[in-house]
């Protein structure tokens, strides 16, 4: 009998003092990955962002290299060629196969947004631009800093403690020698100190009045794409036009979830390898849509049919059934691994 083991990386912790997580004499190892947890997020090492599952595989290299097969399964995103080649370059003689779906790990977000989404008859918008940040991450830190420097207003963000501020300042400086010592660490909350569920409900009115809202998910620094949650879905539910400061090719990848990509924004900077240069170019090249009434109205009207269509898809799709159909497209053995380890039914 083939000896097989499954490790759900989101649910474990590891360090170099621990014993190997891989059992002796295993022939097939299945790795399940859903979200950006402490064991599955990225971390700056030197001047490069590394994906922790790759670091873990290198740590476990001796046992992984003895396998007959390594299956890596992503439950709500798509691995990029950078991720695939990085792993295959470590294990040049190992049979490695990548599998992914887009909804098993996050269909519940779609259901929750359906429950709170307003029924919209009138889509007239008063404001050009709005976003609000609950938890700061590096792309969002850069976004806020860029907005401060460019006098772009109407956004919310938290005040950082000294450790958080030092971390983001260090990461930008280490990655590209950007000095953010003039970052205005004052913070602005639209509704005070409330939990996420209550904020999402209260935020609806702001989104309903806004043409463009920035969407920025958990950053995976070009290792994963097509990772979405309520940040995108809430904008869609209010017929607000999303603008992505996000994982690579996020706009075009929404088609993987059944939506139509938006048009008119300049996303050509997705081809820039340097991440900070990419964010800078992306924001600079689309700045006019955030600050000029004429330009924001133009791009909103340009996308009106897509906005209405994506709203309809979001509201009318049975997302759990769609997730089940995705699952059926996978090989039976991989399907069983997912069912046995996630509780999805």
Q: What is the pLDDT of residues 137-195, one digit of tens each?
A: 999 999 999 999 999 988 999 999 999 999 999 999 888 888 888 999 998 888 777 77
Q: Judge whether 208 and 236 are in contact, CB under 8 Å.
A: no
Q: Judge whether 63 and 26 are in contact, CB under 8 Å.
A: yes
Q: Judge whether 136 and 163 are in contact, CB under 8 Å.
A: no
Looking at per-residue pLDDT, the higher value among 204 and 102 belongs to 102
Q: What is the pLDDT of residues 41-62, one digit of tens each?
A: 999 998 899 999 999 999 999 9
Q: H or E element: which one contains 8?
A: strand 4-8
Residue ranges and CATH numbers for the domains of the chain are: 4-101+330-342 (no CATH), 107-319 (3.40.50)
pLDDT of residue 200: 81
pLDDT of residue 105: 95
Provide the pLDDT confidence category of residue 343 given band limits of 50, 70 and 90. Answer: confident
Mean pLDDT, rounded, of the chain? 94
For 265-304, give one letter per residue: b (16+ CB within 10 A) or e: bebebbeeeebbebbbbbbeebeebbeeeebbeebbeebe
pLDDT of residue 175: 87
pLDDT of residue 68: 97
Residue 129 has pLDDT above 80, yes or no: yes
pLDDT of residue 297: 96
> What is the pTM for the complete model shown?
0.94
Q: What is the pLDDT of residues 8-31, one digit of tens each?
A: 999 998 876 778 999 999 999 999
CA dist., res. 345 & res. 342, Å (int): 9
């Amino acid at each position: 009998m083939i000896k097989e083991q499954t490790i759900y990386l989101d649910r474990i912790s590891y360090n170099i003092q621990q014993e190997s997580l891989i059992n002796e004499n295993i022939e097939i190892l299945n790795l399940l990955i859903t979200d950006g947890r402490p064991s599955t997020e990225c971390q700056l090492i030197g001047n490069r962002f590394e994906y922790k599952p790759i670091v873990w595989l290198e740590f476990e290299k001796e046992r992984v290299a003895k396998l007959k097969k390594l299956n890596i399964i992503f439950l709500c995103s798509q691995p990029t060629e950078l991720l695939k080649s990085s792993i295959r370059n470590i294990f040049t003689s190992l049979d490695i196969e990548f599998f992914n779906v887009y909804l098993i790990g996050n269909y519940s977000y779609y259901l929750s947004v359906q429950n709170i989404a307003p029924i919209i008859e009138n889509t007239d918008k008063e404001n050009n631009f709005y976003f609000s940040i609950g938890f700061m991450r590096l792309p969002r830190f850069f976004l806020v800093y860029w907005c401060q420097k460019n006098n772009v207003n109407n956004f919310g963000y938290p005040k950082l403690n000294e450790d958080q501020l030092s971390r983001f300042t260090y990461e930008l400086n280490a990655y590209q020698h950007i000095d953010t010592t003039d970052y205005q660490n004052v913070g602005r909350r639209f509704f005070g100190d409330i939990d996420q569920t209550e904020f999402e409900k209260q935020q609806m009115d702001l989104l309903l009045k806004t043409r463009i809202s920035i969407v920025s998910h958990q950053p995976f620094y070009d290792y994963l794409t097509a990772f979405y949650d309520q940040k995108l879905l809430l904008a869609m539910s209010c017929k607000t036009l999303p603008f992505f400061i996000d994982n690579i090719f996020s706009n075009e990848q929404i088609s993987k979830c059944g939506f139509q990509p938006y048009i008119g924004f300049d996303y050509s900077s997705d081809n820039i390898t340097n991440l900070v240069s990419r964010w800078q170019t992306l924001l600079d090249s689309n700045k006019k849509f955030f600050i000029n009434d004429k330009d924001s109205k133009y791009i909103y009207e340009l996308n009106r049919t897509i906005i209405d269509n994506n709203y309809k898809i979001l509201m009318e799709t049975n997302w759990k059934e769609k997730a089940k159909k995705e699952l059926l497209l996978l090989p039976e053995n991989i399907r069983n691994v997912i069912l046995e380890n996630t509780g999805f039914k």
